[in-house]
Amino acid sequence: MTEQTVETGAKKKPAMLQHEIEAKRLGLYMSLPAQLLLAFIVAFPFLMQVYISLTWWGPLDGTLWTLAYESMNWFGQYGEIFQDGRFWGSIGRTFAILGIAVPIEFLLGLGLAMLFVQKFPGRPIFYSIMLTPMMIVPAVTGLMFFLLFQGTGPINDMLGLPQNYSWLQDINRSMITIIIADVWQWTPLMFLILLAGILGVPEDQLRMASILGAGKWTSFVRIVLPKMKTVMIIALVIRVVESFKIFDTVYIMTRGGPGVATETISLYIYKMTFADLEWSYVAAMGLFILVALSLLAVLGMWQMSAAQKRQKAMMSAES
């Protein structure tokens, strides 16, 4: 009887394996059209961009893009990038915006997250209000702050400034208005991510620290922050990458002006694409930025992996 059972099990096992193989094959056949479509949607524009970036082709040449190889220059467009002062100026202004806005958003989000961890009356209502700016379309946010910072707008009225006191037409103050708009809209995202990180800290460790006499600040520095390093890195990488793509708010508020005082890299690429029609140069700039942001994301992932390893080492040392 035992031999029959073993023999039956041996016969069933290949049959089950064959069934699994057929199920996987069917799943592959069913998903293959969608996978091919997705590969085409992603791969074709990317390969086309690489191809165009290696030429001098533009829509005003009067030839099809398929004949762009006739003006092949290989890496000439990429050489132009390093000589383009306006390009690097827009990069610098983009970094200036994210270098000021992202730290402010991080600190405000962390402070609000620590506040909302505590239970207080009306917390769900205030929680919903806190997340509202994040839900607004960036173009609408740009219009809102464009109206707020007009000479006859409410900001000058509240501060007691004259109507001829310009915000959006001033070289220095226009950048401040964009940073304020960005902080207002995206601090809730930082708050949401960091709050999730704080709620993920084990409560038993916090209670144990409290029993041993540790204060709230000590518990925050010694327990909460080390546990949140991965979440903090994720939040910062997301906001840095997203801030680098800022466009709607700047376009609505200042159009990159006065002059090019608030022209970010996204706005510069937009102008070069639709005003100057330098499509091959724009393709080269886009690929250059893609590689730079990819390296930044890899650096963030490396930092996150290192933080996780340190956290695991600390937990094993404690145990």
Domains of the chain: 85-277 (1.10.3720.10)
279-318 and 229-244 are packed helices; what angle lies between their axes, rounded to 10 degrees?
Answer: 170
Tokens for 82? Answer: 């390093």
What is the residue-level pLDDT of the chain in tens, covering all 319 positions? 444 444 444 445 555 577 778 777 777 878 888 888 888 888 888 888 888 888 888 887 778 877 877 778 888 888 888 998 999 999 999 999 999 999 999 999 999 988 888 877 888 888 888 889 999 999 999 999 999 998 888 998 888 888 888 898 888 899 999 999 999 999 999 999 998 888 887 777 767 776 766 667 777 777 778 778 888 888 888 888 888 889 999 999 999 888 889 999 999 999 998 888 888 899 999 899 888 888 877 887 787 777 677 767 766 766 6
Tokens for 153? Answer: 């707008």
Q: Residues 140, 251: contact at Cβ < 8 Å? A: no
Residue 55, SS3?
strand
Least Cα distance to 305 among 241, 236, 233 occurs for 233
C-alpha distances in Å from residue 70, one per residue of 8, 58, 135, 175: 69, 12, 47, 43
Task: Name residue 158's amino acid.
Answer: M
**Beta bridge pairs of residue 55:** 72
What is the pTM (predicted TM-score) of this model?
Answer: 0.78
